[in-house]
Amino acid sequence: MKLQMVNVTRKFGDFRAVENLNLTIENGVYGLLGVNGAGKTTLMRMICTLLPPTSGQILCDGKDIFKMDGEYRNLLGYLPQEFGFYPDFTVKDYLLYIASLKGIRPMVAGKRVKDLLAQVGLTKSANKKMKKLSGGMKRRAGIAQAMLNNPKILILDEPTAGLDPTERVRFRNLISELSEDRIVILSTHIVSDVEYIANEIWLMKDGQIMQQGNLDQTLASMQEKVYACEVSQADATKMMKKFKVSNMKSERGMVELRIIAGEPPIAGASVVEPTLEDVFLYYFGEKGGEME
C-alpha cells in the first residue's frame, strides 16, 4: 500500500491551506505536527476524499483516489477532529449503521462490532445512547467505527484532543495496537502523542511540510542547541523576551529555564538532550506556548 501526494495544493479563495505538497507514505505510523491553522485538517480531508485538491493528485498505489471513489474509501478508516454521531443511536446501532455504509454485510458486521467493542472497552456500553457517553468513550466509539472495515489507511485527526491524561494514554496505546500493517496518519498538536507512537514525524506549517523524518532525524534537524540554566525571577522574565524558552520551572525563588539558542544564553548554561517539544518550539517559534 502506497499513498503519494504529487504537487498537492488546496486553496480557499486566495488562502493556500496546503501548498505544493509532495509526500510518499507507506505502512507505518505518521505523526503530523503543527499549530492550529497549519493545514493539517485540510490535508486529512483531502486524503479522505472529503475535499478535492485545487491542483495536484493524491494517488493510492498509482491510482487517483478521487477516481477510485468507493474502491479507495473501502480502504479508509477516518476519525475526524470534530467527531459527530447520531445522539439517539445506541453505540451498537451507530456502529452497525457505519458498518452498512462501509459495505459490511450484516452477519459479518455483528461479529465485527462485538469484537471492536471489546477491543475499545465499550462492551458494557453497547446499548447506551451515544449522547450518554463520556468524551473518552465517544472517542473510543470513534476509533471503533474507523476500524470497522479493517482499513489499510487509518486517518486520525486530533484523536486525543479534549481527553484527560488517563484516557489519552489509553487511547494512544490503542492506536499503537491498531497500527500493524497499515498506514496510520495521526494529526495532532499534542507533541507527546507523536513522540510515543509515530515512526515518522512531519512538521507542518503554513500548508507545507517543513521537516520530515523519524524521531532521531527530527531531533537532529535543529540547527540550534538546547540549554538548561537557573536564573532569578527577574532575569527569567528578561530571558523569555530574548530567547525561545521551551520550559520554565520555579523552585526556591529561582527559575529553571530550558532555552533553545545558537550559543549559551548565559555563562554556566549546560547543553541538554533535545526533546520533540523543543523541536516544535524551534520550528513554530512564539507559538510554542500552545504546546502541552
Partner 1 sequence: MIRYEIKKIFSKSLSKVSLVVLLFSLLISCYFAITNVSFLDEQGKSHTGIAAAKSLREEKQKWKGVLDEAALQAVLDEYKKISEEYPIRPGDDSANLLHDSKVQGFSEIKDMINMGFCEFRDFNYYRIDSLSKEEVGQIYENRGKSLEKWLNSEDADGLFDENEKAFLIEQYREMKAPLYYEDYDGWKSALSYAQTIIMLIMLVSAFLVSGIFSNEFSWKSDSIFFSTKYGRDRGTRAKIMAGFIVVSVIYFIVISLYSLVVLGCLGAQGGNVMIQTGFWHWKSFYNITYMQLYLLTVVAGYIGTVFCLFLSMLVSAKTHTAVVAVTIPFAILFLPLFVSNFDFLSGILGVFPDRLLQINEIINTFDLYHIGGKIVGSIPIMLVIYPILSILMVPLMYHVYHKTEIK
Number of H helices, E strands in the chain: 11, 14
Cα–Cα distance measured from residue 155 to residue 171, given in angstroms and rounded to the nearest whole number = 14
Distance CA 109, CA 241 (A): 57
Task: Output the smallest distance, CB 286 to partner 1, in A.
Answer: 28
- Which residue from 45, 138, 139, 152 is in contact with partner 1, where contact means CB under 8 A? 45
13 binds partner 1 (CB under 8 A): no
Q: From the CB of residue 41, how many other CB atoms can be counted at a distance below 10 Å? A: 21
Among the listed residues 9, 20, 28, 51, the single contact to partner 1 using CB under 8 A: 51
Contact between residue 147 and residue 177 where contact means Cβ atoms under 8 Å apart = no
Q: Does 262 sit near partner 1 (CB under 8 A)?
A: no
Stretch that binds partner 1, among 86-94, 107-115, 167-175, 252-260 (CB under 8 A): 86-94
Q: Which stretch binds partner 1 (CB under 8 A): 89-97, 182-190, 213-221, 233-241?
A: 89-97
CB of 65 to partner 1, least distance (A): 11
Phi, psi of 57 (to 5 degrees): -135, 150
Figure out which of the listed residues 33, 48, 147, 175 binds partner 1, where binding follows CB under 8 A: 48
- Residues 219-248, interacting with partner 1 (CB under 8 A): none
Decide whether 88 or 290 has the Cβ nearer to partner 1.
Answer: 88
In angstroms, how far is the first alpha carbon of the chain from the final one? 34
| 82-88, long-range: CB < 8 A, 24+ apart | 83/138, 83/139, 83/142, 85/130, 85/138, 85/141, 85/142, 86/130, 87/129, 87/130, 87/131, 88/129, 88/130, 88/131
Contacts of partner 1 in 52-81 (CB under 8 A): 52, 69-70, 73-74, 76, 78-80
156 touches partner 1 by CB under 8 A = no
Closest CA to 91 of 135, 136, 134, 125: 125
Given 43, 95, 96, 198, the residue binding partner 1 (CB under 8 A) = 96
Q: Supply the DSSP symbol for 223.
A: S
268 contacts partner 1 (rule: CB under 8 A): no
E strand or H helix at 10, and its extent?
strand 2-12
**Site of grid cell 542547541:** 225
Q: Does 102 bind partner 1 (CB under 8 A)?
A: yes
Residue number, 141 or 174, with CB nearest to partner 1: 141
Angle between helices 106-119 and 91-101 (to 10 degrees): 130
188 binds partner 1, rule: CB under 8 A: no
CB 54, min distance to partner 1, A: 11
Q: Does 182 bind partner 1 (CB under 8 A)?
A: no
Q: Which positions touch partner 1 (CB under 8 A)? A: 12, 45, 48-52, 69-70, 73-74, 76, 78-80, 82-89, 93, 96-98, 100-103, 145, 149
